[in-house]
Amino acid sequence: MITINSIKKGIVIDHIKAGLGIKIFNYLGLDKAGYSVALIINADSKKLGKKDIIKIDNEIDLDFNVLGFIDPNITINIIEGENIMRKIKLNLPERVENVIKCNNPRCITSIEQEITHKFYLVDRKKGLYRCEYCDEIHKL
């Protein structure tokens, strides 16, 4: 396994389902980061078999709702002085806004300009969300 130095003050996003790391990397705009960032893909994991990890050598604002929506199983470690100060487990959020768009071509959101795309959770186990406008199911 590739070794990446530990970070002094920043964030480690761990237990990302293999393949989703790049999605989170892009969502957080880390390609434009002016600080050290490591994206590790396909790392060995006892729990998941393979996992992705992102290490960010900086404090940045994270929207836990959106991250939880992309992958509810990730763990966020807040690092200070090279130690884990806080561990945050994510869940699927009850509601998401402007993260995904409704796939129903008959939904008003397909034509209404600048509308907020809203979804609410209907089945946590199955990862099912409903569009607040047309009730179309969106499966994660």
Partner 1 sequence: MLKGKHLIDPMDFTVEELDEIFELAERIIQNPSEYSHVCEGKLLATLFYEPSTRTRLSFEAAMLRLGGKVLGFSQANSSSAAKGESVADTIRTVECYADIAAMRHPKEGAPKIASMYANIPVINAGDGGHQHPTQTLTDLLTIRNLKKQLSNLTIGVCGDLKFGRTVHSLIKAISRYENNKFVLISPNELKIPEYIKKEVLEKNNIEFLEVEKLEDVIDKLDILYMTRVQRERFFNEEDYVRLKDSYILDKKKMGNAKKDIIVLHPLPRVNEISIEVDKDERACYFKQAKYGMFVRMALIAKLLGVDK
Interface positions with partner 1 (CB under 8 A): 104, 106-113, 115, 131-136
Q: Are 64 and 26 in contact (CB under 8 A)?
A: no
Distance, CA of 76 to chain centre: 10
Q: Which residue type sits at 27?
A: Y
Beta carbon nearer to partner 1, 23 or 130: 130
Distance CA 109, CA 112 (A): 5
HSE (side-chain half, CA atoms, 13 Å) at 68: 16
Least distance in angstroms from the C-beta of 108 to partner 1: 4
Least distance in angstroms from the C-beta of 86 to partner 1: 37
Beta carbon nearer to partner 1, 58 or 132: 132
Least distance in angstroms from the C-beta of 130 to partner 1: 10
Beta carbon nearer to partner 1, 89 or 95: 95
Least distance in angstroms from the C-beta of 92 to partner 1: 19
Beta carbon nearer to partner 1, 84 or 134: 134
Q: Which residue type sits at 45?
A: S
Assigned token pair, 98: 């402007």
Distance CA 108, CA 135 (A): 11
